[in-house]
Structure 1
Amino acid sequence: MLTKLKSISLGNWILIGMFLGLIVGLIVNFYVTDPYIKNIILMDNVFYLGGTLFIKLMKMLVVPLVFFSIVVGVASISDIKTIGTIGGTTILIYLLTTAVAITLALIIGIVLQPGAGLHMTALADASNVTTNQTLPGAILNMVPENPFNSLANGDMLPVIIFGLLIGIILAKLREETEIMNKAFTECNRIMMEMTAIVMKFAPIGVFCLMAKTFGSLGLEGIMPLGKYFICVLIGLAIQAFVVYPSLLVILTRLNPINFFKKFIPVMFFAFSSSTSNATIPLNMDKLYEMGVSRDVSSFTIPLGATINMDGTAIMQGVAVMFAAQAYGIDLGTSALLTVIFTAVMASIGTAGVPSVGLITLTMVFNSVGLPIQAIGVIFGIDHILDMFRTAVNVTGDAICTIIVSLRNKEMDVDIYNGKKQPKEEKHIM
């Protein structure tokens, strides 16, 4: 019995915690009539302590995790100088598709209103919500007057800018700053390991957060959660089957049907593994079978697994609108622009491992002052959505690679169109 329990994955434990929390919350809401047991013992102590402790652990991670990830991510792409236009074009397309993805998600959230009707009580975390602000003010707020204050206060936009600058300098002075490069890389590894440890407590945290939420809201909280799930899936479907094929047709004139016929196995593998990194070898192999040069894909695909997180950006955009609507917060234009910028920057250096998008979602929420308690409500179903968005992430990597390859004459179109077969190769992975 114990062996079977140990074999259950973390994602499934989180799902179990979500469903148990939902059921326990509804039982408490409808059947526990003693106010002392219901409110004092359960709602205000047991569930509050477990949920809030988990949220605090996530908040503890977000600033150092994002800071070190961005520094390491930017510093690691210094070889763009030797790759030249291929590297610049790749990064530009990756960032463009991520911006499109987050914008699409915000529009879906505004139109379909996934958080409407949830009526969650606004908490103290929402006191600094960014609603309306002048454009010059928004730009000036990105630049840190004192980067250490920004790190200490969790002001994410200045932290991102500071991290980008350090990463660029480390990339420029690579040989002279080898020790610092290594130090930042090791700090990043430490934060990833700490993230893995904190995530082990996720099932308990999700259980408490769900139990407290549905213990207060009852059945009325289920519908918005379902709408959130559907909104994310709609965004992912549009990105994968409308945005990407459109880019392929407009920029290359290639038939996207040929792409999907050959790429479906990679999408299924990404779906089942929930990790972009594990899909890198298979992705590169399939692209080679489509006529893409390995000289290009060996750079663009690993880079995409690091900085191209369109599926994650869609989840974050819908989650922002879900939380704002659930708490009755009207986000202004400058706040939405801040969300777009933060989500795009958060994709730089984000590890291609399961559910890390939820950690960076905390950063996006902080950038506009949304209560991160809302993350606990959507946390339970994230494992399922993570599978879908990973499939979208790797699809975006492949489409962008084809575009870059063809425009730089590093692709055999006849192989892509099935008119000839790729040469057999001995590749060393």
Structure 2
Amino acid sequence: MSTAPEATSSPSVLARIRKTPFWVQIVAGLVLGVGLGYLARAADISWLATTLETIGKIFVQLLKVAVPPLVFTAIVVSVANLRNVTNAARLATRTLLWFMITSLISVGIGIGLGLLTNPGEGTNLKTEGLKALDSKGTWIDFLTGIFPTNIVDSFAKVNVLQIVFLAVVVGAAIIKLGAKAEPVLKLSESVLELTQTALWWVIRLSPLGTLGLIGKSVAKYGWDLLKPFATLTLDIYLGCALVLFVVYSLVLRFAAGLNPLHFFKGAWPAIQLAFVSRSSVGTLPVTRRVTERLGVPSEYASFSVPFGATTKMDGCASIYPAVAAIFVAQVFNIELGIKDYILIAFVSVVGSAATAGLTGAIIMLTLTLSTLGLPLEGVGLLLAIDPILDMMRTATNVAGQVVVPIVVAAREKILDVAAYNNPSGDLYEEDAKPAVVAAQGGAATAAA
């Protein structure tokens, strides 16, 4: 008995969207967001501006809610798994060394651009009535802030520095206790997998989040706000672009003997998500996935990527505070000397963990200004355009968090060069593969 073949129905709109490459979805959200934001501002449509702001706010909140468990379990697992990595101490030392090298290069570019362009001269910005921030941002506050006084409070207030400190201690204790601490390690691994799975669902909403975040920025700030900060904004974007596309390419070519084009092909999903979300920690699952897809062993990536997401900030902690410090000094007519520029470089290398992978770099800027003795009121001048600057800064941060593990792995001869040269496949569909494989395995077992 034969049955007539069923008529094939046309795919639904949702199915068509899922088949569209993810980067196309991101770009579409970006373009649509700019258009809707401009419409809301030009036509003074308050409900549209509010809707865009709400969409963007919810997206960022969903990313942030995963920060405490993600950072804690990722660091715990990565530190504990160092016992399974050959030459773990050597790899950790080399990773930190390359973090410092690229940070110094980045801050040098920031200082150079600031001295060449004088971003604070001729801005005619009024400084009367500006209120200084609280005393937070000094070195004493930074150092004492690392050590928690209340564990629950550290997680409730999302103090990433304290969470990282606790995670490192727990990870080291797991190594020390060995088999006795195995249940704690298994629990941490399970929570990490659970958090990453839930975060992947949020990441799939990035096109919608892009629409809201970009649309809100255009509707709220427009283009007029950038005029007094034009030189500063151009300096930040140019400096980040030089580091992202030139410095990292040269490091990959001459320090690791690799073709930089393959890096950008493989790492671009993480870079574009970082640009939109403005969060290194929120991008962490994608950053780790692209790092492994580019040939870095998972055992090493599980340590270097979370470590980088909380300490490696070439955009937020090197380029930005260097240019911003020069900007603030010029606005307040304060002359900086060679000693001050050396201090900027020192702060960028030692204090980069102060940015802690969350959106914004205000803590790092206050730390730099307080070290130089510059008015903290200058931070208030930059708050309005910080979201615009932060997009490019975070994209640079995340790119550096992928570059360094690749360079270290290549120099230590543990990089899968074939995988690096061919980072193929749809990154955003790979998360479904383990479930598919497991299902197929279960079906095969049942059939047997």
> For the superposition of Structure 1 and Structure 2, which TM-score range results when normalised by the shorter chain?
0.5 to 0.7
Q: Which runs of 5+ in 1 are unaligned?
A: 14-73, 127-151, 168-180, 195-209, 211-218
C-alpha displacement of 1:102 = 1.8
Q: Give 1:339's aligned residue.
A: 344
Which string of whole-angstrom CA distances, capped at 9 and with x for unpartnered residues, describes residues 197-256 of structure 1?
Answer: xxxxxxxxxxxxx9xxxxxxxx9x964411110011110001101111111112110000
C-alpha displacement of 1:158 = 5.1
Which string of whole-angstrom CA distances, capped at 9 and with x for unpartnered residues, describes residues 338-388 of structure 1?
Answer: 122123222125321211x01321121111121122222221111111111
State how far apart, in whole Å, the 2-side matches of 1:155 and 1:384 are. 22
Which string of whole-angstrom CA distances, capped at 9 and with x for unpartnered residues, describes residues 162-204 of structure 1?
Answer: 55xx97xxxxxxxxxxxxx76465454455479xxxxxxxxxx
State how far apart, in whole Å, the 2-side matches of 1:5 and 1:368 are. 39
Q: Which has the higher contact order (CA 8 A, sep 6+)?
A: 1
**Is 1:270 the equivalent of 2:274?**
yes
State how far apart, in whole Å, the 1-side matches of 2:239 and 2:362 are. 17
Normalised to the residue count of structure 2, the TM-score between the two structures is 0.58
Pairing of 1:356-371 with structure 2 (within 5 A): 357-371=361-375
State how far apart, in whole Å, the 2-side matches of 1:353 and 1:413 are. 32
Q: Give 1:326's aligned residue.
A: 331
Amino acid at match of 1:287: T
Q: Which runs of 5+ in 2 are unaligned?
A: 1-44, 58-74, 161-220, 436-448
Q: Give 1:414's aligned residue.
A: 418
Amino acid at match of 1:118: T
State how far apart, in whole Å, the 2-side matches of 1:338 and 1:382 are. 23
**Is 1:315 the equivalent of 2:297?**
no
Cα 1:11–1:371 shift into 2, 3 Å: farther
C-alpha displacement of 1:302 = 0.7
Pairing of 1:207-286 with structure 2 (within 5 A): 223-286=227-290
Normalised to the residue count of structure 1, the TM-score between the two structures is 0.61
Q: Which moved more, 1:114-123 or 1:387-396?
A: 114-123
Q: Give 1:42's aligned residue.
A: none
Out of 103, 107, 116, the position equivalent to 1:102 is 107
C-alpha displacement of 1:91 = 1.3
What RMSD, in angstroms, separates the aligned Cα atoms of the two structures? 4.0
Out of 368, 375, 382, the position equivalent to 2:386 is 382
Does the 8 A contact of 2:355 with 2:363 survive in 1?
no
C-alpha displacement of 1:120 = 5.4
Amino acid at match of 1:359: I
**SS of match in other structure, 1:277:** coil
Out of 74, 84, 97, the position equivalent to 1:92 is 97
Amino acid at match of 2:378: A
Cα 1:360–1:188 shift into 2, 3 Å: farther
**Is 1:353 the equivalent of 2:358?**
yes
State how far apart, in whole Å, the 1-side matches of 2:136 and 2:385 are. 27
Aligned-residue identity in percent: 27
**Is 1:395 the equivalent of 2:399?**
yes
C-alpha displacement of 1:117 = 1.4
Amino acid at match of 2:373: G
State how far apart, in whole Å, the 2-side matches of 1:277 and 1:242 are. 25
Which string of whole-angstrom CA distances, capped at 9 and with x for unpartnered residues, describes residues 307-332 of structure 1?
Answer: 00111021111110111111111111
Amino acid at match of 1:156: T
Q: Give 1:40's aligned residue.
A: none
**Is 1:156 the equivalent of 2:161?**
no
C-alpha displacement of 1:293 = 0.8
Which string of whole-angstrom CA distances, capped at 9 and with x for unpartnered residues, describes residues 29-76 of structure 1?
Answer: xxxxxxxxxxxxxxxxxxxxxxxxxxxxxxxxxxxxxxxxxxxxx999
Q: Give 1:47's aligned residue.
A: none
State how far apart, in whole Å, the 1-side matches of 2:269 and 2:226 are. 34
State how far apart, in whole Å, the 2-side matches of 1:350 and 1:182 are. 17
Instruction: Give the number of equivalent residue pairs.
Output: 303
State how far apart, in whole Å, the 1-side matches of 2:242 and 2:114 are. 14
C-alpha displacement of 1:103 = 2.1
Does the 8 A contact of 1:125 with 1:372 survive in 2?
no
State how far apart, in whole Å, the 1-side matches of 2:393 and 2:137 are. 27
**SS of match in other structure, 2:283:** helix
Amino acid at match of 2:116: V
C-alpha displacement of 1:260 = 0.8
**SS of match in other structure, 2:271:** helix
State how far apart, in whole Å, the 1-side matches of 2:290 and 2:101 are. 24
C-alpha displacement of 1:282 = 1.3
Cα 1:281–1:229 shift into 2, 3 Å: same
**SS of match in other structure, 1:84:** helix
C-alpha displacement of 1:108 = 0.5
Out of 279, 286, 293, the position equivalent to 1:289 is 293
C-alpha displacement of 1:289 = 2.0
Amino acid at match of 2:410: L
C-alpha displacement of 1:405 = 1.4
Cα 1:77–1:368 shift into 2, 3 Å: farther
Does the 8 A contact of 1:120 with 1:327 survive in 2?
no
Cα 1:75–1:100 shift into 2, 3 Å: farther
**SS of match in other structure, 2:355:** coil
State how far apart, in whole Å, the 1-side matches of 2:346 and 2:159 are. 27
C-alpha displacement of 1:101 = 1.5
C-alpha displacement of 1:267 = 1.2
State how far apart, in whole Å, the 1-side matches of 2:419 and 2:136 are. 50
**SS of match in other structure, 1:330:** coil
